[in-house]
Amino acid sequence: MTISTSSTTPRVAIVTGGSGGIGRTAAERLAADGLAVVVSYAGNPAHAEEAVRVIEKAGGTAVAVKADVADEAEVAALFDAAEERFGGVDVVVHAAGIMLLAPLAELDLADFDRMHRINVRGAFVVGQQAARRVRSGGAIVNFSSSVTKIALPNYAAYAATKGAVDAMTLILAKELRGRDVTVNAVAPGPTATPLFLQGKSDAVVEQLTLMSPLERLGTPDDIAEVVSFLAGPARWVNGQVLYANGGVI
């Protein structure tokens, strides 16, 4: 379903972490839905430009913009670029994040601080700009994780950052009362992305696959479908964390 601000002007989406993984798939899906997409990336311009080329080849509209999600000046410039190029911002999908795993007792605090900066501060900084700039009828979609409920060993620090995202999401939805802007989070379960599969043995991957009653890992397309729903037709879904995990919990 495509919702336009007018009969001739497409809606505009910013997707952080849009150059790879679930973020890229979400960017491609939103472009296929008819939105103009700003593919935000942190450090790999080649991947971001490739994402733009794929979207344009499929008939969509996209541009790549570099921004450190934890840097308020760079995020403000990201939103400026979207407004200057496309006239405004209707949807913000905050998919940027990192995952560093270790038992709580063994995790290097430098890794904890790095995850906190990107996953928590980044969500806060992007959320600030989104709250100030998203137009009426728009949507803010954060990325959480089902691991906040599954509580897998080695995920304590990562799950803590996503618990913070959950709290920000639910509170921001209430703070935007009267704006006609929805705020939700998607919480993927085990999903076959390079970020998820990195460092896991075949036995571990099989164990995680069987956690779902559907007996498979999720795919980026599965998650992008939920993002598309929240970004477009789901106007009565607000202040929610949607667990897209195939029934793991």
User: Which residues are catalytic, by number?
Assistant: 158
> How many residues can be counted in the chain?
249
**Collapsed DSSP state (helix, strand, coil) of residue 112:** helix
Tokens representing residue 247 in the block: 């029934």
Sorted by sequence, the CB contacts under 8 Å of residue 14 that are 6+ apart come out as 37, 38, 40, 78, 79, 82, 89, 91, 92, 93, 130
Could you tell me if 176 and 168 are in contact, meaning their C-beta atoms sit under 8 angstroms apart? no
Q: Exposed (0-12), middle (13-18) or buried (19+): which is 31, by Cβ within 10 Å? A: buried
Which residues is 141 bridged to in the sheet? 93, 184
